Amino acid sequence: MALVPASTIDPKQDRTMILNMGPQHPSTHGVLRLVLEIDGETVVRMMPDIGYLHTGIEKTCEAKFYQQVVVLTDRIDYLCPLTNNLCYCLAVEKLLGLEIPTKAQWIRVLLNELSRVNSHLVWLGTHALDIGAMSVFLYCFREREDVLRIFEMVSGQRMMTSYFRIGGLALEPPLGFFERVKKFVDRFPAAIDEYEDLLTQNPIWVERTKGVAHLSGEDAIALGATGPTARASGIDWDLRRDMPYSSYEKFQFRVPVSNDGDVYARYLLRVDEMRESNKIVQQALAGMPEGPVKADAPKVVLPDREKMKTQMEALIYHFKIVTEGFSVPAGEYYQAVESPRGEMGYYVVSDGTAKPYRVHMRAASLANLQTLPKMCEGRLIADVVAAIGSIDIVLGDVDR
């Protein structure tokens, strides 16, 4: 967070003025502040100013046990906490050399895709709201509520789930869970059609988004953009397909790519992604393997409650994990997963103790935010609002 001193802005001509947008502006999706240099209604220069939601999570991680960090990861990108959980757990599991049972991997994929649906629904609702299509928000949040209820059913929490743990899942999904997910995925494609009915051919929507905030493929690569923001500019790259993790290689899905690079292309692409996510969830339901959901690693995974009542070792392991954690061999690993916003990376450095030496999060939102000035400079202020919505940043992810 930095105040921008007037001296650094230096308007080129007398006719430009400095306009402050945010951090409490409703269209900035959180606490993003933009300093705009404008000439009439045209944006000459834009400077994003961030840090209003900086909570020092990376520092806090260094003072916690490995298993306690899972809870912190929820709070980073709060629209897809399960994706954060997954990315962190995969990194630490790699350092530990843990094998995760197939069923746990598949449930992770299933929930991860539901997180993507959840995140894209919030994005679509708020993005449409910014541009003036009020009703879409209500439809999106209707389905989002269903997804959140699924999360609540499986983890006891609607948003801060912490359901993935190092070594597998926190617990078996409850009875009736898969039926409930099935009910949702059967119904969901019709709901997506409904959103599309409201927007895709809507002349006002098309007018506000088509050809607006263009980003070329070269700029997307140079500025570090990933995810739908880059794919809408023709970058055919999806970590789920290109560097699979957690059994993604077992699933068939299409990666939508567009060459238009405007707000409308990003909209169509994310809507398409929701349909693909829905297909992945259907495949996960159809082929869900049997077996345990936790790795066989008594020093890392908390024992079952029943075992603790009958076995001395289980009680000792439980006591040790809770009071002094478990040590992770010295080393480092960078795990990247495809979050709804792009490449989410966790760089975990271990010095062989029970607390991580360093945890760094590569935030997709932070890198994607760098494309915003490129998209908006030379365009109207009204387009800035459309552009912010279209890169789908989460300020918790930007500031950490």
Partner 1 sequence: MAEPAVAITDLEQLKEGPALARLLDWNPGTVQGARFQYGELNVYIDCAHIRDACSLLKNDPELQFTFLSDITCVDWYPSEPRFEVVYHLLAMARKKRLRLKVKLAGDDPHLESVTSVWRGANFFEREIYDLFGVRFSGHPNLRRILMPEDWEGHPLRKDYPVEGYR
CB of residue 148 vs partner 1: minimum separation in angstroms?
30
| Contacting residues toward partner 1, per CB under 8 A | 1-3, 50-51, 54, 56, 58-60, 62-63, 94-99, 221-225, 235, 237, 242-243, 295, 297, 299-300, 329, 331-334, 336, 343, 345, 347, 349, 357-358, 360, 362, 366-367, 369-370, 399-400
Q: Which two tokens stand for residue 309?
A: 């009542």
- Backbone dihedral region of 289: left (phi > 0), alpha (psi from -120 to 50 degrees) or beta? beta
Are the C-beta atoms of residues 300 and 324 closer than 8 Å to each other? no
Residue number, 114 or 300, with CB nearest to partner 1: 300
Sign for the pseudo-dihedral over CA of 147, 152, 154, 155: positive
How far apart CA 169 and CA 104 sit, in angstroms, is 6
Q: How far apart are the first and last CA of the chain?
A: 12
- Identify the CA nearest to 27 among candidates 385, 394, 390, 368: 385
Residue 181 C-beta: closest distance to partner 1, Å: 31
Q: And the tokens for 47?
A: 């400077």
Return the number of the residue (4 or 382) whose C-beta is nearest partner 1. Answer: 4
Cβ count near 319 (within 10 Å): 11
CA–CA distance, 379 with 374 (Å, rounded to integer): 10
Amino acid found at 367: A
Task: Give me the least distance between CB of 366 and partner 1, in Å please.
Answer: 6
Cβ distance to partner 1 smaller for residue 2 or 322: 2
Q: State the SS3 of 65-85.
A: CHHHHHHHHHCCCCCCHHHHH
Q: Write down the least CB distance from residue 244 to partner 1, Å.
A: 10
Distance CA 23, CA 2 (A): 12
- Least Å distance, CB 7 to partner 1, is 12
Q: Which is nearer to partner 1, 11 or 211 (CB)?
A: 11
State the Cα–Cα distance between residues 30 and 47, nearest whole angstrom.
17
Nearer to partner 1, 89 or 95 (CB): 95
Shortest CB 357 distance to partner 1, Å: 7
Q: Which is nearer to partner 1, 147 or 225 (CB)?
A: 225
Q: CB within 8 A of 215, min separation 6: which ones?
A: 225, 229, 232, 233, 261, 262, 371, 374, 375
Query: Whole-number minimum distance, CB 261 to partner 1, in Å?
Result: 17
CB of 89 vs partner 1, minimal distance in Å? 15
**H-state helical runs in the chain:** 6-9, 57-61, 66-74, 81-96, 102-131, 134-155, 177-199, 203-209, 217-222, 227-231, 239-242, 263-286, 305-310, 312-324, 364-369, 372-376, 381-391, 395-399
Structure tokens at 49: 């100013």
Of 287 and 329, the one with the shorter C-beta distance to partner 1 is 329
CB of 193 to partner 1, least distance (A): 33
Query: Structure tokens of 201?
Result: 């051919």
Cβ nearer to partner 1, comparing 86 with 220: 220
Cα–Cα dist 297/180, whole Å: 31
Q: Output the smallest distance, CB 36 to partner 1, in A.
A: 16
- Based on CB atoms, which residue is closest to partner 1, 196 or 219? 219
Residue 241 or 275: which CB sits closer to partner 1? 241
